[in-house]
Structure 1
C-alpha cells in the first residue's frame, strides 16, 4: 500500500516537472534574447540551485554575477525572470522616471497570502485602490507632522525608561559591559505598541506581543519550502504547515483582544480627552474601496503586525549600527556632544538632561551621522521585489510584463563611483551636501527606505526616532569599548541585517 502510494506521488511530481519544463522552454523563446544578461538557465535545476544559494549569503553570489555581467542581470527563478539592479542611475530610471510601471508587487505565495490577509497590507498589496487607501490612511492619520508630534510625550517616556534600563544594566552586569541591542529593541517596541494601540500596556502583554512577532519574523524562512507545490507540501509536510498556521493563530490570540478593547473604548465614548489617535483607531474607521466595507479583524491583525515590525526591527537595528560606530570612532561621538552642548547651553552636568525634539533641526552633524549610518549599514540590503505591469525597456534591456525587479540597496550605498572611501564611516561627507534628498527624487545615491511610489511611508518618523534617541544616548552617557574588547562590524541576516556579534559597551553617566 505504501509502495503504491509513493509511486503515485513520484509519477505526479515527475509529470509536473515535465509540464513545467515544456512551458518554460516555450515561454522563454521570445524574451531571452533581449533580457539583461545572466547565467545559463536550466529549468527546474536552476531554481533549485538558486534556492539553495539563497539560504547562504545570496549577496556574494549576486555580486559575483554583477562583476561578470554588469549592473543589471537576469536570473530565471520560477516561471518569470527575476532582474537584479545594483546601479543607482538604473534604479532612478526605474523607480522615479517609470514609477507607475514599477510599482506593483509579485503575486503572493501561499504562505504570504496567509500572513498578509491576501496582500491586505501596505508592503505587499498590489498597486491599486486598496494599496492607495491603506497607505493614505497611514500617511495622513499617523505620519502627518501634527500626528507625529502628538506622540512626543510617549517618546520621552520611552527614552527615560531606556536610559534607566541602561544605567541599571551598567551598574549590575559583570565584565564592565552592557549588551545593548535588547534594550534598544525593547524601547522601540514599547513605543510602537503605544502608537498602534494607544495605551501603555503592561510588561506581560508587551512580552506576549514581542514573543509572537519575533517568532514569526525569525522563523518565517523555514516555511519557504511550503510554497513549492503547496498541494503536495500540505500532505507531505503537514506538520510544518500546522506549525506555520499556529504562528498566525498566536498573533490573532494576542492582537485581537487589544483591537477589540480599543474598539470598545471608542464605542463607549470613554476615550480620555488627552489620549492620542492610535493606528488601530484609524483602522476601525477605514473602508476599503474594492471590498466596499470595513476591515476584518484578520486584516487589522495583519496591518498591526506590519506596523510593529516595520517600525521596530529596522529602527533598533539602525540604532545599534550607529552606536557601534560612535563607540568605534570616539571623535565622531565627541563632535556630536559638542554640537549638542552648543545648542543646549551650559555643560553636560547642567539641568537640561534631554535633547528636545524641537532642538534636533539645530544639529546638522547629528543628521549627517544618521545618514552615514543608514548608508554604510542599511538595515535591509534589498527592498521588497517590484513587478512591472507592462513590457518596458530599461538601460537598453527588456523587462517583460510580470517580471520581478530587485534593487541591491547596500551595493548602491557602497558604490565607489558615487561615494569616496565607501566602506569608511565618514559623516562629514554629508556636510558637503546640505540638501541631500533621502527619497532620491532627483538622483538616487542610496535608498535605505526604497524610492519612488513604494518608498517607506514612515521614513520621516524613522529619521526622527534615530536622531532623538542617538542625541539623548550620547548626551546622557559616555560610550566606550570595554577593556580588552572591540567593536566587530561583521554582519548576519535575521529579519534585518544585524551585527553578527551584538554591540557590547562600557557606558558611564556623562559628567
Structure 2
C-alpha cells in the first residue's frame, strides 16, 4: 500500500511538471526584431549595442512597452512601462529580480564580480552592501564628513568664479568643475585623505577613461566572445592597462590607510589636517568574506574594484544631476528666483554658506531636485537585472536567466502619468501638484525611479539627495545663473557613462554678494 501511494504521488508530480512545462511553452517572449541563432538580432549589423537607447525608442513604438533583443547568445528584455516594472521588481517578490547578469568582460579581463553592483544576490552581496550602508552611508557617518563637504563647497565656488565669464571672458564648462569637486569629495570619503589637485586629477582621469572605454569599446564581446577575444585582443589589452593604472593609483592609498589603522591601534595615529579619522577603505580592510569564499580578507584587487565602484557611483551620477538641474535653472529664471527667495528667507544675509541643516527645511529646493531627477535622470537605464526563475510580466514569459532592464527616463516622462512631462515644473511636487507623495523607493508604485527600485535599489539614495540639495542651494545663493550669448542652453542628450548634455552648459555667473 505504501509503495502504491509513493507511485501515485510521483505520477502526480510528473504530471504537474509536464503541465508547467507545456504552460511555459504556450507563453511567449516579448516581441522583438528578427534574430538568428548565435549572432542575435540582425539589426546589430547597422546599430551599436553601446548606444542602444535611440533604437529601443523606435522598437517600443513598434512593438509595445516590452521588447526582446538578442545580443549574441544573451537574451535581453527591456521594459518601459512603470506598472510592468513594479510587477517585476516588487510584485514578483524581493529576490526574483535581485541577481545580476555576468558582465561580458568580467571573465575576459579577470575582473572580480565581488562588488555591490555586480555580485549576485547572496551572502557576499549582503555583506558588502551592509558594510557600505552601516559604516559609510549611515547618517552618523555622513555627518562626520560634513567638514569635507564644506571644504568641497569652497573648492567648487572657486572653480565657478574662475570660469564665470566675467568681463570679456568666455564662460567655462561647469560640468568640468562639478566632476572635479565631486571627485575631491568622494576620494576623501573613500581613502580618508584630502589630496591635492594633481592627485585628484590623476584619479579622475583614470576612472573616467576606464568607464568610457568599458561603456563604448567593449560591447563587441557580447557577440561570439570565443572569437572576438582574438579579433579585438587590442581592446582587451587596453582595458587591462586601464585597470592596472587604477591599481597603481589606489594601492598606495590603501596601504596608507593600513598604516594609519595600525598606528591608531597603537595610539600613534598622525593628527594631520588632511587626514580623516574614518574612510570607506577602513571598513573594507575589516571585512572577512564568508566561508564559501575561504573566510578571508578582501584582496587588494577586490578593494581596488570596490573603491572604483564607490567613486563612480558618487561622482558621475551626482555631477550629471547637477549639470541638468542648473541648466534648467538657467533656462527658467522664474524658478531660480523663487528658489533663491526660499534660500534667502531660510538662511538670511549673514550666513557664510547654506548649511546642511538648512537644506532640510526648504521644500521648494527639494521640489527642484526631484523635478530635475524626473525629467533628466542621470542614468536612463538601471543596472541590468537577471531573472532568478521563469516569470510572467504583462502576459509575456521572462525566462530564468534572462537579462532584464528598465527604462528610467521613459517612466519619468510618461505623459499618461505626468502633466506636461517635458516641462520643468518643480511645483508639481508641492501641495496640489501631480507629483505630491511620489515614492522614490517604488514600494507602493513606480512613477519615477532614478535610483532603481526593489532589492537592488541604489544604497546611496539619501546621500545623493543631500549632495544635490546642498550644492544646488549654495550655487544659487552665491551666483545668479544666466544664459550667456552664444552659449544658449540646449537639452540635447549624449550617452557617456551617464546621459549628459550634448552641448555643455556654459552659463554666465553673476555674483549675488560682494
Give the TM-score taking structure 2 as reference length. 0.89
User: 1:49-448 maps to which residues of 2 (within 5 A)?
Assistant: 49-50=43-44, 52-55=46-49, 57-98=51-92, 99-109=94-104, 111-113=105-107, 117-170=111-164, 174-220=168-214, 221-226=216-221, 228-269=223-264, 270-271=268-269, 275-289=276-290, 290-291=292-293, 292-345=295-348, 350-431=349-430, 432=433, 433-448=435-450
CA distance in 1 between partners of 2:255 and 2:210 (Å): 22
Q: Which residue of 1 aligns with 2:490?
A: 488
CA contact (8 A) 2:73 2:223 kept: no
Distance 1:173 1:245, change over 3 A: farther
Q: CA deviation at 1:68?
A: 2.1
Give per-residue Cα distances to partners, 1:170-222, cap 9 Å, x unaligned: 26785442321111111101000000001101222112111111110111221
Worse-superposed segment, 319-328 or 233-242: 233-242
8 A Cα contact 1:116 1:302, kept in partner: no
- State the secondary structure of the residue aligned to 1:398: strand
2-side partners of 1:482 and 1:116: how far apart?
48
Structure 1 gap ranges (5+): 1-26
Contact 1:376 1:414 in 2 (8 A): yes
Instruction: Tell me if the contact between 2:36 and 2:42 (Cα under 8 Å) persists in the aligned partners.
Output: no
* Greater CA drift, 179-188 or 388-397: 388-397
Maintained 8 Å contact 1:46/1:77: yes
Partner Cα separation in structure 2 for residue 236 and residue 117 of structure 1: 20
Q: Deviations over 1:116-137 (max 9, x none)?
A: 8321101111111111111110
User: Against the structure 1 CA distance between its residues 51 and 429, is the aligned structure 2 distance closer, same or farther, given a 3 Å change threshold?
Assistant: farther
Which region of structure 1 is more displaced relative to structure 2, 95-104 or 187-196? 95-104
RMSD: 2.2
What is the TM-score when the length of structure 1 is the normalising length? 0.89
How many Å apart are 1:378 and its aligned residue? 0.7
Contact 1:178 1:507 in 2 (8 A): no
Aligned length: 480
Q: Give how far 1:152 is off.
A: 0.5
- Matched residue SS, 1:53: coil
Q: CA deviation at 1:53?
A: 1.8
Q: Bigger shift: 471-480 or 171-180?
A: 171-180
Distance 1:365 1:76, change over 3 A: same
Mean Cα deviation higher: 143-152 or 201-210: 201-210
> Could you say what secondary structure the match of 2:400 adopts?
coil
The 3 A distance-change label for structure 1 pair 39 and 230 is: closer
CA distance in 2, matches of 1:115, 1:76: 23
- Structure 1 SS opposite 2:36: coil
Instruction: Compute the displacement of 1:449 (Å).
Output: 0.6
Kindly state the Cα deviation for residue 51 of structure 1 after the two structures are TM-superposed.
6.8
2:5 match: none
**Aligned-partner SS, 2:240:** helix
Measured after TM superposition, the shift of residue 503 of structure 1 is: 0.2
Q: Unaligned 5+ residue runs, structure 2?
A: 1-20
Structure 1 range deviating more: 479-488 or 177-186: 479-488
Distance 1:180 1:422 in 2: 26
